[in-house]
Amino acid sequence: MFMRDRDEPVTFHRSGTALSAVTARGGVRVSAHVGLRPIASESPAAAAWSHRVALCMPRELGRMSNRRVLTEIGPDAEALRAEEREDILFDLGLGLLQVDALVRTSDPAVVAALRRHVGKSVLATDSGAMGVIVRANPHRVFVSPVGRVEVFQPIPPPNGISPDGPHTHVLPKLLAHGRTHAASEPLPDDMVPCAHCYPPNAVRDDHGRPRQFDPESHFAFQALLERYGDPERLALKKRVMNCVSAGHQPFAITAEGDRFSRATVRVTLRQLQAAETRSPTLAAWLAVYDHAEPTPTEDVLIC
């Protein structure tokens, strides 16, 4: 995951269709491609709701190497910073469809140590590669068909806290599911997300902490949703908003269909509540629709 503070120094660079941003803690590059499709969506969350824009590719165009063992790649010619383009890359071999997860180092001792584990799964009990990586803190590099993220910050110890800003997670239990994205994210079956961006949330700050409802952030994302969201869920959202604003009772519509449609109703009601929408029936809508099922958690595979 690449993040930066609002006042943090950053270097931007544009080359053709690619745009990159690099700080002292990490960097990101995103490139435009034929077939690239932004998809905006919202989901209920433990703290109100979450939203994102997924940069998706058709499944066949979104494939990366899909390696399943530690593999030496060689010098990182595509590194965001010129001084790291001779450093050595190792693919962790996590077997992900649309992203290669790698580490990069210039330390000869670390290179030699990792070479001893090449050809084995880093998650195997007889592989010491992950121990080498945790101790050495090499740069982590994630490459997809639409760009890359690089993280320069240290890896926290077991049970430690990830640092603020760019950081990474490798979660074996979630990797075992073989998902291309969180189960709570509504995406077409023929598309895979190759990157995500997270515009400001109206009720949570950059660190996920609650904040007072911010209309500007809310309406900015609603404009993205209008342009890049699913038309059917958008239509459902507007029906709910109109019914609640008009003071209709909850059963004026039915939230049947897939769970993403039901989630759309829940998010819409929470947003109306956060915006302090005046309606004599909003509480009744919330009682009917927002307590019918538990709020799903958003799985994080690797970020």
Q: What are the φ and ψ backbone dihedral angles of 74, each rounded to 5 degrees?
A: 110, -165
Pair 214, 230 in one domain? yes
- 71 in any annotated domain: yes
Of 96, 117, 140, the one marking the end of a domain is 140
Pair 53, 68 in one domain? no
Name beta bridge partners: 61: none
Average pLDDT in the 76-90 region? 98
- 295 in any annotated domain: no
Pair 266, 208 in one domain? yes
pLDDT per residue over 134-186, tens digit each?
999 999 999 999 999 999 999 887 777 777 888 787 766 666 767 888 888 99
Q: How far apart are CA 172 and CA 59, in angstroms?
A: 23
- 89 in any annotated domain: yes
Pair 127, 68 in one domain? yes
pLDDT per residue over 225-259, tens digit each?
999 999 999 999 999 999 999 999 998 776 666 78
- 12 in any annotated domain: no
Which residues form the domain of 127? 64-140
| Residue 5 CB contacts under 8 Å (≥ 6 apart), including other chains | 165, 206
- 96 in any annotated domain: yes
Pair 231, 263 in one domain? yes
Give the model's pLDDT for residue 166. 85
Pair 239, 277 in one domain? yes
Pair 70, 119 in one domain? yes
Give the model's pLDDT for residue 171. 64
Q: How far apart are CA 91 and CA 82, in angstroms?
A: 20
Residue 22 pLDDT > 80 = yes
Of 110, 140, 170, the one marking the end of a domain is 140
Q: How far apart are CA 246 and CA 242, in angstroms?
A: 6
Give the model's pLDDT for residue 303. 29
Average pLDDT in the 208-224 region? 96
Task: Say which residue, 174 or 58, is predicted with more confidence.
Answer: 58
Give the model's pLDDT for residue 169. 74
Give the model's pLDDT for residue 246. 95
Residue 263 CB burial class (10 angstroms; 0-12, 13-18, ≥19): buried
Percent above pLDDT 90 for the chain: 75
Give the model's pLDDT for residue 126. 85
Residue 55 pLDDT > 90 = yes
CB count within 10 Å of CB 217 equals: 17
Of 120, 140, 160, the one marking the end of a domain is 140
Number of folded domains that form the chain: 2
pLDDT per residue over 100-111, tens digit each?
999 999 999 999
